[in-house]
Amino acid sequence: MNITTRGDIKRKVMKNINESQPHSIFFISDYARFGSTETIRKILHEAIIRGVLEKAGRGIYIKPKVSRFGNVPVSLEKIAKKIAERDKCEILPAGSTAANLIGLSTQVPLTLSYITTGSSRTVRIGDRKITFRHAAPRNFAAKGRAVPLLIQAMKEIGEANISDSEYEAIRRFICEMKDPYLKDDLQIAPEWIQRMINKCSNLNGIRSL
């Protein structure tokens, strides 16, 4: 590749990066239409050296966001969603991540866990991790968002460990979500989860759901 051609590619890549918002996330594949993988990798590496980009993980580049307190880290959730978008797959919070979102756990996990229609893998972002575990399509069959999250969170906690405080957290989550598909989606949940959600929400009496 001659210098002129590489220069044209670099201008196109950097124009896109410069016009993007802070905390934009980039992958080498975003620029595959401009040139070879190796050429794009070198251009992104040069952008890191100049401080235009930061490397968040293998093949993951972030446009930094700076406040008066210093660098603002991008959320792992945003990175996970961007990876799913790139790979054209679905993801759903699972394990302790789902439990935290529901309110069944107050501990913020350093590792975010997801089930996915894509491949299983672990992505390291500094000292943090995102894990993706391949799951059957039936896990993504719900029309709404509430029941799939509840299923993953309650499986993490376990039937024997759901006490009055967990019931209250589930009830509060259901009321806040106001998911119109809750009753229909509940049919895909295991029986013990159906029973507990019915007890928490008193579905027949909540018109907003």
Task: Catalogue all structural domains in the chain, each as residue range(s) with its CATH number.
Answer: 3-70 (1.10.10.10), 76-205 (no CATH)
- Name which of 188, 184, 186, 142 is nearest 200 in CA terms: 186
pLDDT band with cut points at 50, 70 and 90 for residue 68: confident
Mean pLDDT of 170-198: 93
What secondary structure letter does DSSP report for 184?
H
Top mean-pLDDT range of 65-69, 126-130, 139-143 = 139-143
Contact between 28 and 39 under an 8 Å Cβ cutoff? The reply is: no
N-terminal to C-terminal alpha carbon distance within the chain: 60
In Å, the largest CA–CA distance within the chain is 71
Count, residues in the chain:
209
Specify which residues 189 forms β-bridges with: none
Q: What is the pLDDT of residues 71-130, one digit of tens each?
A: 898 999 999 999 999 999 999 999 999 999 999 987 777 899 999 999 999 999 988 899
Do residues 20 and 90 lie in contact, with contact meaning Cβ atoms separated by under 8 Å? no
Q: Is pLDDT at 205 greater than 70 in this prediction?
A: no
Contact 185, 148 (CB under 8 A): yes
Which pLDDT value is given to residue 208? 40
**Mean local confidence (pLDDT), 49-60:** 93
Q: How far apart are CA 88 and CA 21, in angstroms?
A: 23
Q: What pLDDT is stored for residue 19 in this prediction?
A: 96
Q: Give the pLDDT of residue 207.
A: 42
pLDDT band for position 202 (50/70/90)?
Answer: low
Report residue 13 as tokens.
Answer: 């890549």
Mean model confidence pLDDT for the chain: 91
d(CA 206, CA 133): 34
Residue 4's pLDDT band (cuts 50, 70, 90): low
